[in-house]
């Protein structure tokens, strides 16, 4: 199945990602939650823009992804959609919008596609029930990105730790990855998975795994935009590389503004209408 993410014929599609895997080209994915950042991320050449339910923590200030609602996700995804021209736009289905029944999953995922213009949804888990849900979504025309390893919506049952290190971990993750692939997922996020296990899963699938904290053996990488920009200063996990220090830069710029206002240096004559 090929899904056009953008209005132009040059947009990234689910087929593009599969072809990139075949050619050995790495996929670069990032989150975005608003119009301006989405435009910057898209213009810089990102292949996949994800409106992640990390929105809950990064933008809304909750301490997990659980409280974010479908309406929150749709509201932000509509803004992101207006900023994305080329990348494939994927939107997370929040906690309890797809686990209760397959009918509800179709209704909620359908709302996301109809109301935001996104090309696909992402959901967490690799159980037989989730695989059946993926199958149903794909059957009605909704492309699905799966999410295995550490699944943040299960933080209260699995904690926040690297997944798959236990005896049989590789076999379990391989079985889940094959199940979501067989169900029709076009890609899968692998989060907090030991590098060798993620590489083995990647080699065994025809769909591209995209890693976060899963090493270089995946077909692509995804990071939370605010983390890699250095805006989320307290968050320093081992896997994260900061490609900017926008937290520091923002504080310095705002400090400069406050000082200039207080001293009367701003606004100057050139900022003032005659």
- Name the residues that contact ligand KIV, by CB under 6 A: 31, 52-54, 92, 189, 212, 222, 224
Nearest residue (CB) to ligand KIV, 7 versus 241: 241
Least distance to ligand KIV, CB of residue 265, Å:
40
Least distance to ligand KIV, CB of residue 35, Å:
18
Least distance to ligand KIV, CB of residue 42, Å:
17
CA separation for the pair 13, 200 (Å, rounded): 25
Q: Which residues pair with 223 in a beta bridge?
A: 30
Least distance to ligand KIV, CB of residue 234, Å:
17
Asked if 37 contacts 84 with a C-beta cutoff of 8 angstroms, the reply is no
CA separation for the pair 7, 98 (Å, rounded): 28
User: Which residue in this structure is represented by tokens 């004559």?
Assistant: 269
Nearest residue (CB) to ligand KIV, 54 versus 116: 54
Asked if 138 contacts 183 with a C-beta cutoff of 8 angstroms, the reply is yes
**What is the DSSP secondary structure assignment for residue 153, as one 8-state letter?**
G
Asked if 97 contacts 105 with a C-beta cutoff of 8 angstroms, the reply is yes
Least distance to ligand KIV, CB of residue 64, Å:
11
Nearest residue (CB) to ligand KIV, 47 versus 53: 53
Q: Which helix (H) or strand (E) holds 176?
A: helix 169-183
Please give the positions annotated as active site. Answer: 191
- The string of DSSP letters for 50-70 reads EE-TTHHHHTT--SSSTT--H
Nearest residue (CB) to ligand KIV, 92 versus 176: 92
| 125 Ramachandran zone, left/alpha/beta (phi>0; psi -120 to 50) | left
Nearest residue (CB) to ligand KIV, 105 versus 192: 192
Q: Which residue is nearest to ligand KIV (CB)?
A: 52
Using DSSP's 3-state secondary structure scheme, residue 112 falls into helix
């Amino acid at each position: 199945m090929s899904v056009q993410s953008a209005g132009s014929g040059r947009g990234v599609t689910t087929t593009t990602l599969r072809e990139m895997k075949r050619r050995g080209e790495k996929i670069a994915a990032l989150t975005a939650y608003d119009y301006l950042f989405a435009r910057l991320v898209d213009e810089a050449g990102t292949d996949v823009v994800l409106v992640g339910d990390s929105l809950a923590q990064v933008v809304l200030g909750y301490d997990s992804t659980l409280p974010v609602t479908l309406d929150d996700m749709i509201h932000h995804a509509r803004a992101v959609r207006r900023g994305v021209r080329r990348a494939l736009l994927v939107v997370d289905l929040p906690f309890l919008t797809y686990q209760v029944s397959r009918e509800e999953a179709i209704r909620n995922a359908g709302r996301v596609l109809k109301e935001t213009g996104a090309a696909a949804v992402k959901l967490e888990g690799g159980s037989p029930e989730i695989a059946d849900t993926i199958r149903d979504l794909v059957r009605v025309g909704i492309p699905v990105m799966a999410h295995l390893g550490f699944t943040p919506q299960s933080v209260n049952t699995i904690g926040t730790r690297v997944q798959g290190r236990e005896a049989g971990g590789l076999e379990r993750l391989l079985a889940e990855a094959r199940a979501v692939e067989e169900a029709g997922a076009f890609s899968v996020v692998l989060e907090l998975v030991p590098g060798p296990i993620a590489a083995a899963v990647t080699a065994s699938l025809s769909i591209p795994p995209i890693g976060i904290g899963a090493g270089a053996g995946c077909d692509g990488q995804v990071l939370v935009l605010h983390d890699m920009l250095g805006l989320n200063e307290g968050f320093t996990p081992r896997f994260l590389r900061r490609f900017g220090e926008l937290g520091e830069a923002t504080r310095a710029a705002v400090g400069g503004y406050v000082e200039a206002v207080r001293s009367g240096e701003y606004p100057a004559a050139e900022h003032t209408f005659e």
